[in-house]
Structure 1
Amino acid sequence: MNEEQSGSEDQPIVVDQTDKRSVVPFVAAAVIAVIVLIGIVLGGLLSPAEKNVTEADRLTAAVSNYIDARSRSELRPPPGVACPGFDEEKSGLSERLGGPKSAVTIDKKGFDKATVNGDRAKIDATVQIGDKSSTSTWNLTRVDGAWLVCTP
């Protein structure tokens, strides 16, 4: 056995180092990645998401916020979602929403005919009270940049 082992140790191992590798593909991939990242950052700066929201979307959100706040609060109107001095009873909104203590849900598809005239707006909203759906026009006013439910 010693003869076999000594014979295998005597044979030189030939390593071929003529294979040349290039860093060009790695550099190209890094450059493309940097260009894509710069494009994403510039796209975010030049076209922020909040600019893609329409006035109709903002009106829809204001009505949804009012209904949501109404279901969580005993105060009428709920704080922060209606104009100062807004009276739900006098506006007829309480009656359209099934009374002061009714549970109301909004059909998210039920918003239509949003019109904006300066700082005043109207939107038709379909609300569901129990099994009944009813559509009514909601009046909103822009106060400090936010749409709030108000009387006409």
Structure 2
Amino acid sequence: MTEQQGIDDEPAIEVDQTDRRSVAPFVAAAVFAAVVLIAIVLGAVLSPAEKNVTESDKITAAVQRYAEARAATDSTPPPAVACQGFDESKSPLAAQFGGAAAGKSIKVTKIENAMVDGDRAKADVTIAVEGRETPATWNLVRSGDRWIVCK
């Protein structure tokens, strides 16, 4: 009996079960996420991706458009990818084609040293026509807001 009395004599341990958590961290995180989302939306509206395109990117697109159009058609020159009065026999692809180009596999493998001088540009372009790579310097002219191939 003496052992039971010893256990009862010890003071009881009180456990505080009141919940004192704060909602403040969750509110702060939600406000931060909203601010970030608004900043992203404003950034997209005020600085659209089209304005971030470099002249080099536009020249690359012009070269790709010309090569794709030339591979798809025998039209000389392909519409909207070459300047008016363009002489296909002096084109950067003339030596590789020798004649009709439609259906031939054309791949632009490298575009380097794009240089812009006002409304004119030059770029060193390496193309592969049916597996044979050929480097050449391509001349381009600005037409509105885009570049077109010219000789």
Structure 2 letter corresponding to 1:93: P
Kindly indicate whether residue 66 of structure 2 is the aligned counterpart of residue 66 of structure 1. yes
Deviation at 1:86, TM superposition (A): 1.4
C-alpha distance after superposition, 1:74-97 (max 9, x if no partner): 3111111111221212x2435233
Q: What corresponds to 1:105 in structure 2?
A: 106
> For the residues of structure 2 that align with 1:20 and 1:134, how far apart are their CA atoms?
75
> For the residues of structure 2 that align with 1:94 and 1:88, how far apart are their CA atoms?
8
Taking structure 1 as reference, are residues 92 and 78 closer, same or farther at Cα in structure 2, changes over 3 Å only? closer
Name the TM-score, length of structure 2 as normaliser: 0.76
> For the residues of structure 1 that align with 2:60 and 2:99, how far apart are their CA atoms?
22
Deviation at 1:104, TM superposition (A): 4.0
> For the residues of structure 1 that align with 2:59 and 2:96, how far apart are their CA atoms?
18
Q: What corresponds to 2:34 in structure 1?
A: 34
Q: What corresponds to 1:10 in structure 2?
A: none
- Describe the SS at the equivalent of 1:81: coil
Matches within 5 A, 1:2-151: 18-89=18-89, 91-102=90-101, 103-108=104-109, 110-151=110-151
Deviation at 1:50, TM superposition (A): 2.7
Deviation at 1:132, TM superposition (A): 1.8
Equivalences, count: 134
Percent identity (aligned): 50
Q: What corresponds to 2:6 in structure 1?
A: none
For structure 2, the residue ranges without an aligned partner over 5 or more in a row are: 1-16
Deviation at 1:119, TM superposition (A): 0.2
> For the residues of structure 2 that align with 1:106 and 1:132, how far apart are their CA atoms?
10
For structure 1, the residue ranges without an aligned partner over 5 or more in a row are: 1-16
- Describe the SS at the equivalent of 2:97: coil
Q: Is this contact kept in 1: 2:92–2:137, CA < 8 A?
A: no
Name the TM-score, length of structure 1 as normaliser: 0.75
> For the residues of structure 2 that align with 1:143 and 1:128, how far apart are their CA atoms?
26
Q: Is this contact kept in 2: 1:126–1:136, CA < 8 A?
A: yes
